[in-house]
Amino acid sequence: MDSNPRSPGHGELCGEDEDWLHELSIDMFPEDRRLWVYGVGEDGVTAFTEDGIENLRQIIVDERTAGRAPPSIKPAK
């Protein structure tokens, strides 16, 4: 099991709309490796372990296959 949580807007998930990723992640649970990370003076942020990112990627594929996905956003160069 990995222990480096990442937030959706960083690295691996660039190219997808962060609001859409948030919508997709709402039904995910800690068992799906979706976490809520708190910091000093922060409200918190959704983050994923490596397995959680893979779970979210599968949800993205499923949504695209079903025709329920917005267009991909290309990462900035």
- Please indicate, yes or no, if residue 21 is contained in any of the structural domains: yes
Whether the CB-CB separation of 14 and 62 falls below 8 Å is answered with no
Residue 25 is assigned to a structural domain of this protein = yes
Residue 52 lies in a domain: yes
Q: Could you give the percent of the chain with pLDDT greater than 90? A: 10
Whether residue 62 is predicted with pLDDT greater than 90 in this model: the reply is: yes
Residues of the domain holding 51 = 11-65
76 part of a folded domain: no
CA distance 41 to 44: 9
- In a domain? residue 58: yes
Q: Quick: pLDDT tens for 20-40.
A: 888 888 888 888 888 888 876
Asked if 32 and 17 touch (Cβ cutoff 8 Å), the reply is: no
The alpha carbon dihedral of 52, 58, 61, 63 has a sign of negative
Average pLDDT taken over every residue of the chain: 78
Q: Report yes or no on 4 lying in a domain.
A: no
Segment 7-11 shows an average pLDDT of: 52
